[in-house]
Amino acid sequence: MTSKVFILGIILIFIHHSAFSQTEEDTQNLKQASDLFSNGDYESAIIQYTKVIERSNYYDAYYGRGLCYYMLKKDTLALKDFYNSEVSLHHQADTNYFWFRGQSHHRLDQWEWALKNYRQAELNGMSLKGQLGLSLGTVCYFLGLTEEAHNYLIRYLSYNKGVEGAWTNLGWIYLEKEEFDSAEYAFERAYLLAKQSTEDSIILAKCLNNWGYAQGLNGKFEKGIYLIRYSIKLDPNNSFAYRNMGYLYMKKGDKVNACGNLKIALDMNIEEEWGRKYINELLILCK
C-alpha cells in the first residue's frame, strides 16, 4: 500500500516546482490542501484543490486532487484528474505519476492501461524491487503474458519473500506450465504466509483450495481433496472449491463424487460466476 507520508512528499515537491506561476491565493489554497492531506482529511483537501482549479485551471492542482481521490479509492475521478495534469512536463518525467495512474487502472481491472503506465514508471527509473515488480507481474498474469509475469514475480520475490499474493500468482503460472512441484511449493508458501498474517477465513480458504488443487494435479489426490475439504469448512460459499474437488475426483476415476461435487457447484451458480470453460470436462463426464 502507498503510504500517506510518501504521497504528501510528492505534493510538497510539486508545490515547490510550480511556485513561480502561483498567485498568492493559489499558494494559500495549495498549502491548506497539503496540510489537510497530511491529516487525512482528503475531502476537505479536494475542496481547496478545486478552488485553485476553478480559478486558475492549474495543472498541479489536478494532480493533488487526483491523489486525494486515489487515497479515497475513487479511481475513476483520480484518473480524470491525473490525465488533466499530464501537460505538466515534470509529471511526465516523474515515476510516481505513472505509478499512481497504473494503480488506479489496476484497481479498476483495466489491465492494459495499468500495464502501459507501470511500464512507463519502470522506464522512468522506478525500482522493480518494490511494489512495481509485484504489480507488473500481476497485470501481466491477467493479460496472459505468462513468461513476463513469471519473470517479474521471481525478481520481486528475490527481494520480498513474504507476500502471499505474489506466491499465489506464481503458483497459477506454474499450474499453466504443468510444473506441478513448483506450483505446490508456491501455493504452500502462500498459505503459510497468509496464516501468519491474517485470520480472514476466506483468504485462508482460497490458499488451501489452491494448494490442494495443485497437490491433486500432482497425483496426490487424497492430500489434495483433504485440503480442499478443509477450505470448504472455512468458506462453504466458494463454488470453485467444489469444482476443484469434483475435478480431482474425476482425475482419480471416481465419477460418483466428481458429479456430486459438480452438482453442488452448479447449484451455487458456478457457470454464471466463472464461466462454462472451467466445468466443461465435468459436464461431459456427468451428462
81/120 same-domain check = no
Q: What is the mean pLDDT of residues 205-217?
A: 97
Residue 166 is placed in which grid cell? 505474489
Q: What is the pLDDT of residue 279?
A: 93
User: Residue 98 maps to which CATH number?
Assistant: 1.25.40.10
**Among the listed ranges 59-68, 86-95, 141-150, which one has the minimum average pLDDT value?**
86-95
Q: How far, in Å, are 123, 137, 152 from residue 148 at the CA level?
A: 16, 7, 6
The more confident residue out of 160 and 184 is 184
75/101 same-domain check = no
Q: What is the pLDDT of residue 88?
A: 60
For residue 152, give its domain range.
93-160
DSSP letters for 188-201: HHHHHHHHHH---H
One-letter amino acid of 58: Y
For residue 70, is it within any domain? yes
47/101 same-domain check = no
For residue 169, is it within any domain? no
Q: Which of 77-81, 159-163, 198-202 has the largest mean confidence?
A: 77-81
For residue 43, is it within any domain? yes
Structurally, the chain folds into a number of domains equal to 2
Q: How far, in Å, are 88, 173, 197, 228 from residue 187 at the CA level?
A: 44, 11, 15, 13
DSSP letters for 113-172: HHHHHHHHHHHTT--TTSHHHHHHHHHHHHTT-HHHHHHHHHHHHTT----HHHHHHHHH
**Smallest Cα–Cα separation from 154: which of 109, 126, 185, 118?**
185
Position 93 confidence tier, pLDDT thresholds 50, 70, 90: low
Position 3 confidence tier, pLDDT thresholds 50, 70, 90: low
For residue 140, is it within any domain? yes
Position 90 confidence tier, pLDDT thresholds 50, 70, 90: low
Q: What is the pLDDT of residue 21?
A: 57
Give the angle 153-242-204 at the CA atoms, nearest 5°: 45
Q: What is the pLDDT of residue 19?
A: 45
For residue 12, is it within any domain? yes
Q: What is the rounded average pLDDT for all residues in the chain?
A: 89
104/81 same-domain check = no
For residue 40, is it within any domain? yes
73/122 same-domain check = no
**Among the listed ranges 4-13, 52-61, 257-266, which one has the minimum average pLDDT value?**
4-13
Residues 235 and 241: beta-carbon distance below 8 Å: yes
81/117 same-domain check = no
pTM of the model: 0.78
Angle of helix 24-38 versus helix 59-71 axis, rounded to 10: 20
Last residue of a domain, one of 110, 139, 160: 160
Q: What percent of the chain has pLDDT over 90?
A: 75
Q: What is the pLDDT of residue 218?
A: 97
Q: What is the pLDDT of residue 62?
A: 92
Angle of helix 59-71 versus helix 95-107 axis, rounded to 10: 40
Position 197 confidence tier, pLDDT thresholds 50, 70, 90: confident
69/97 same-domain check = no
Q: Within 13 Å and on the Cβ side, how many CA atoms surround 125?
A: 3
Q: What is the pLDDT of residue 17?
A: 47
113/52 same-domain check = no
The set of residues, in sequence order, having a beta carbon less than 8 Å from that of 131 and lying 6+ positions away, is 2
58/1 same-domain check = yes
Give the angle 9-12-13 at the CA atoms, nearest 5°: 85
Residues 10 and 28: beta-carbon distance below 8 Å: no
Position 7 confidence tier, pLDDT thresholds 50, 70, 90: low
The more confident residue out of 68 and 10 is 68
Angstrom distance (rounded) from CA 228 to CA 245: 7
**Smallest Cα–Cα separation from 162: which of 134, 200, 139, 201?**
134
Last residue of a domain, one of 140, 160, 180: 160
Q: With a cut of 90, say whether residue 13 has pLDDT above it.
A: no
For residue 52, is it within any domain? yes
pLDDT tens, 17-66? 454 456 788 889 999 999 999 999 999 999 999 999 998 878 889 999 99
Q: What is the pLDDT of residue 103?
A: 97
Q: With a cut of 90, say whether residue 160 has pLDDT above it.
A: no
User: Residue 8 maps to which CATH number?
Assistant: 1.25.40
pLDDT tens, 217-256? 999 999 999 999 999 999 999 999 999 999 999 999 999 9
Angstrom distance (rounded) from CA 76 to CA 70: 9
Residue 252 is placed in which grid cell? 482419480
Last residue of a domain, one of 160, 186, 201: 160
For residue 170, is it within any domain? no
Residue 125 burial (CB < 10 Å; 0-12/13-18/19+)?
A: exposed
Position 287 confidence tier, pLDDT thresholds 50, 70, 90: confident
59/126 same-domain check = no
